[in-house]
Structure 1
Amino acid sequence: MSSLLIRGARPLGGEPCDVYVEDGLIRSVDRVAGAGERAGAGRGASASEHVETVDAAGLVLLPGLVDLHTHLREPGREDAETVRTGSEAAAAGGYTAVLAMANTSPVTDTAEAALRVWQLGRDAGLVDVQPVGAVSKGLAGEELAEIGLMARSAAAVRVFSDDGRCVADPLLMRRALEYVKTYGGVISQHSQDPALAGPSACCHEGELSGRLGLPGWPGVAEEVIVARDVMLARHTGSRLHVAHVSTAGSVEVVRWAKAQGIAVSAEVAPHHLLLTTDLLAGYDPTYKVNPPLRPAEDVEALRAALADGTIDAVATDHAPHARQDKEHAFVDAAFGMLGLETALSVVAEVMVASGLLDWAGVARVMSTNPATIAGLDGHGRPIAVGEPANLTLVDPAAAFVVDRDDSLSLSRNNPWHGRSLTGRVIGTFLRGVRTFG
């Protein structure tokens, strides 16, 4: 019988409580009565002689974070990341569940491939790794993948995406939306019109891209796909999830779709909440990401949309790359940034410190909503008696400087290196078992 007592934590930033966990479930949540007295502190703790006690005074307790958008690279690119190293990075970032994107080698487009990723996650045992199935075979955008078989497998795939590539064919997208509806699934779309954002586009299209001589990626290339897909979602009555929204125009389309009652959800990546396109002036390939960093006016729109609920979730788009893929001239470097270990701190810096979100809001956009979108039972649950003890402890006052060499990821393409952030994960617990801290 394993048990855990977290003393004096503030669930969702509220009043201090003692939270007692036994056999993976929360058994009691007792408010701390005062400086010298506790109201029912640790009720039930005597049920086990071996209780791990955590002094959490001054710390915020959140439900374990859930990431809708993680690239773990295994199988195929274990030089950049493995399921185990990605799981270690996720646990360090406060995550208890991550969704592993399908653009591996081989692609996760069959039930067998999905089961392999799922089993690697179980073997690592640090976070619940849920595979994302490809929409199309080989991510080629021509023929539907084995959606039904993946959904019915032990991996129980519910999110499908060709992330890294847009499902550009509207008929294929329509068929995918119709098909996943049968299984209660959702299509997560990488919204990028391939004609408007050509194969060499690598920078937000604007004055800076022209001055730097970098091929431009206009915001409208994202927005026209978002608009098309919300209409297809309305037509099919199916669920659409818009991955890594990056423009004010996309926000307006999603806001309109929700007002119409269309089943659409959306996510934003931490880097799109803080970093802007001016960072590209030094041609540092660390800042090359897809969709690209956008101007300040887009960043402000994304923050407001996350605060008012138009954007449902923060998702890392954690994209590790080996040095030989990232350390090139900007136009030739791979797209992507690390994100798992710093996402909570970025959200604390951008959204909490500014008053746009409180800690209950952080739990909503980084745990509850992502778990609901992904259909993950046992995650994103209230901190309440009888609930699974998937929990994250945060020190809201902890200031630190990000050092890429401290990362648990195998890769070092960290856009936050050298930057000061405030708000740090202190401990992560998966079903009551400490996985970090």
Structure 2
Amino acid sequence: MAQETVSPAAGDRSAAARPPDAVQDAGARAAPAGALSHIRVLDLSRVLAGPWATQILGDLGADVIKIERPEAGDDTRGWGPPWMPDEQGRESRIAAYYLCANRNKRSVTVDMAKPDGQDLIRQLVRRSDVLVENFKAGGLARYGLDYDSLKAINPRLVYCSITGFGQTGPYAARAGYDFLVQGLGGLMSVTGRPDNEPGGGPMKVGVALTDILTGLYAANAIQAALAAREHTGLGQHVDMALLDVQVACLANQAMNYLATGSSPDRLGNAHPSIVPYQDFPTADGYMILAIGNDGQFARFCDEAGRPDLAADARFATNRARVEHRGALIPILRHLTTARTTAQWIAALEFRAVPCGPINAIQQVFQDPQVVARGLRIEMPHPEAGVVPLVASPIRLSQTPVDYRLPPPALGEHTAQVLAEVLGLDAQAIEALRGQSAI
């Protein structure tokens, strides 16, 4: 069996100390340990950005202990409908939203407003490598759970704070939400149809993308801090802000402004720098053309029976097509209505012209490539029987993602974690329950 690396700050993470489902059959050849199986994460976050980051770490093998409020828990536990059906097909109390970001975690209920609850968290911090929180800037200081306080008891701790606007600046004290930041951070200004078209106006993205991207950046930053700790022996404070992430993720649109001094306009599904690169109507719906070079455009025109368009000086190069977008797009929209979406895709794929359908989410999970990549998984659940989940997109050849634990019930692992990690006996745990600390 491969030897497991144990972090001095993580406490005993041996097979005997891990949950039973993580222990290998002694008679079988052990599977590779998860890439982060030596790391313990204390997750004080809720809703989406923080839980998304900690789910990534959990998928990679980390022991994630999710600290939740007694009785209430993570806000998203109540964010329904939809609710998952139970084993008999009846509506349960399990919100689908909560399930999307909380697998591979153990739920522990702690009332951090109580001194005994604060002390439990500090004891867990001594035995953890990472803490993730998304309270308002400075919000945990009143409990003695801010970075400076916890660094004093565990200098190796990587402490990640996720807020709307960061720990500094004039907005630091404000609460921040994905929708608000999509607007403030410029994403909505480049999303949606132009004002002069039907349905024109700013539009948010259909998922809480700023939260998701912040979770991804946070998971990256946490792992960078852990890697740095291997050299310095010390943890650090990771300051993640939704607004920072949103501005960074404007990518080419931000650079278009910085290069020209002009704010980009909304173009609907069109691309500011590539033409044709948008949706087009077909005989039975819509398709996407994603033509990225002049050769692809020439092949499309030939297939459409209009090779003259590729020879036209107004359309022969991408630069010319961008300049004459208004003349070209109506011509192409007329041509594409001559065939069905499936007919166009079959013909254009044969000619190596990038194209595709616009799938509903039901069609996404029926797509043969999605099926082949195993992007829908199922996990046993104590209340729902089996829950479907979306797989991690991370593919590691030597330390693959492992789906060990379904999204937990509220407080499901409180006694287990306090006994396993802190060594508390049943009497001590019951005393904490009696004081409503857990």
Task: Flag whether TM exceeds 0.5 (same fold).
Answer: no
Name which one, 1 or 2, has greater alpha-carbon Rg: 2
Normalized per residue, the structure richer in strand is 1
Normalized per residue, the structure richer in helix is 2
TM-score, scaled to structure 2: 0.29
TM-score, scaled to structure 1: 0.29
